[in-house]
Amino acid sequence: MNAPGLSDLPTAYLDYLATQRRAAVLTLENYRRDLQRLEQLAAGRPLLELDPHDIRRFVARLHGEGLSGRSIARVLSCWRGLFRWLVRQRGLAANPVDGIRAPKSPQRLPRALSPDQAQALLDPPAEGALEVRDLAMFELFYSSGLRLAELAALEVGGGLDPAEGMITVTGKRGKTRTVPVGAQAWGALQAWATVRAGIAGADQPALFVTRTGDRMSPGAIRDRLARRARAVGLGVHVHPHMLRHSFASHVLQSSGDLRAVQEMLGHASIRSTQVYTHLDFQHLAKVYDAAHPRARK
């Protein structure tokens, strides 16, 4: 394999990846670029002489140049593989990249729909039995902030309480929580209950089923949501987590009650809710100035 700009050892390593590990072409190109970066940072020093202090210095340099934590982690993975190979093939005493981690990247916030986009997604009436089912699922997602696995696991008569207007679900680590269900979602669920009776068998416990009466899988639910977004011309890819995030964002924007949103999302820590919802910090500052007795002049 031709790797221009690289010395003998990285070139031999790329040849090994290509011939012995059958690495993909794109993978080899990415590795070649990351190995070129290593040699540039080494500034002429032999790779076999590099130590952990050098690698830490290189990581700090990359971070200072604006490379994200995720990108640095990928670079380190490449370098770690090279030095692991050098330990086996060239007798290097130790891998200088072992134990070195990339800086943490800020957690990516999932996108949320605007209230108008949510209305555009859910307002068009259902046409046919499957769309009646889909609308019930998506209304419930947006109404109650359920996780995809929680919705897929729902069963007839299990957790839904029409009298109280609530639903109880089992989330992560087996923790149950009860959240409200809005009027629009209840209406959609009632419409689906009527249609479901003609599709699902008497012994099928799943609330949401396919056209053949089997339980809807998480993947099928995800696909139907993306299909609905395309059908109504929303112009963005919509997935279940986006509806959960939209629920949290819109409730928080209207109420400002972070603790209540935490409970409805099923977060064990308020910190998770703070990260999960894209807070308007200017609005929070105004709330603080208006509410805190020591903030007033």
User: In this structure, what CATH number is given to the domain that contains residue 179?
Assistant: 1.10.443.10
Q: Is residue 96 part of a domain?
A: no
Q: Are residues 74 and 176 in the same domain?
A: no
- Tokens for 178? 């009860």
CATH number at residue 74: 1.10.150
Q: Are residue 54 and residue 194 in the same domain, yes or no?
A: no
Q: How far apart are CA 229 and CA 242, in angstroms?
A: 12
Is 105 domain-assigned? no
- The verdict on residue 99 lying in a domain is no
- In a shared domain, residues 24 and 130: no
Residue 138 sits in the same domain as residue 57 = no
Q: Is residue 294 part of a domain?
A: no
Same domain assignment for residues 175 and 262: yes
Question: Are residues 83 and 21 located together in one domain of the fold?
Answer: yes
* Domain presence at residue 204: yes
Q: What does the pLDDT read at residue 241?
A: 87
Is 97 part of any domain?
Answer: no
pLDDT number for residue 26? 85
Domain for residue 221, yes or no? yes
| 140: containing domain | 115-289
- Give the catalytic positions in this structure: 147, 172, 241, 244, 267, 276
Rounded distance between C-alpha atoms, residue 19 and residue 114, angstroms: 50
In the three-class reduction of DSSP (H, G, I as helix; E, B as strand; rest coil), residue 177 is classed as strand
Domain end (from 74, 89, 104): 89
DSSP structural state of residue 276 = H
Cβ partners under 8 Å of residue 35, min gap 6: 3, 6, 10, 13, 14, 78, 79, 82
Assess contact for 228 and 138: CB atoms under 8 A.
yes
Give strand pairing partners of 178: 168
What is the residue-level pLDDT of the chain in tens, covering all 297 positions? 444 468 899 999 999 999 998 888 888 999 999 999 999 999 999 999 999 999 999 999 999 898 888 899 999 999 999 999 999 999 999 999 999 998 887 666 667 888 899 999 999 999 999 999 999 999 999 988 898 999 999 999 888 888 888 888 888 777 888 888 889 999 999 999 999 999 998 899 999 999 999 999 999 999 999 999 999 999 999 999 889 888 888 887 777 666 777 777 776 655 555 554 454 444 555 556 666 666 554
The reply to whether 44 and 175 lie within a common domain is no
Is there a single domain that holds both residue 150 and residue 250?
yes
What total of structural domains would you count in the chain?
2
User: Concatenated DSSP letters for 41-58?
Assistant: HHTT--GGG--HHHHHHH
For the chain, how many residues are written? 297
Tokens of 151: 């919705």
pLDDT of the residue at 154: 93
pLDDT of residue 4: 46
Distance in angstroms (rounded) separating the CA atoms of residues 125 and 135: 8
pLDDT of residue 251: 81
Instruction: Assess if residue 297 is contained within a domain.
Output: no
Same domain, 33 and 150: no
- The pLDDT, as a whole number, for residue 244 is 87
Tokens of 35: 């190995």
Of 43, 74, 89, the residue at which a domain comes to its end is 89
Please give the pLDDT value at position 270. Answer: 57
Distances (CA, A) of 1 to 34, 78, 90: 16, 17, 20
Q: Using alpha carbons only, what angle is made at residue 238 by residues 267 and 271, rounded to the nearest 5 degrees?
A: 20
- Would you say 225 and 242 are in contact if contact means Cβ atoms under 8 Å apart? no
Same domain, 142 and 282: yes
Same domain assignment for residues 142 and 275: yes
3-state secondary structure of 206: strand
pLDDT of residue 256: 66
Asked whether residue 147 falls in the same domain as residue 269, the answer is yes
* Domain boundary, last residue among 32, 54, 89: 89
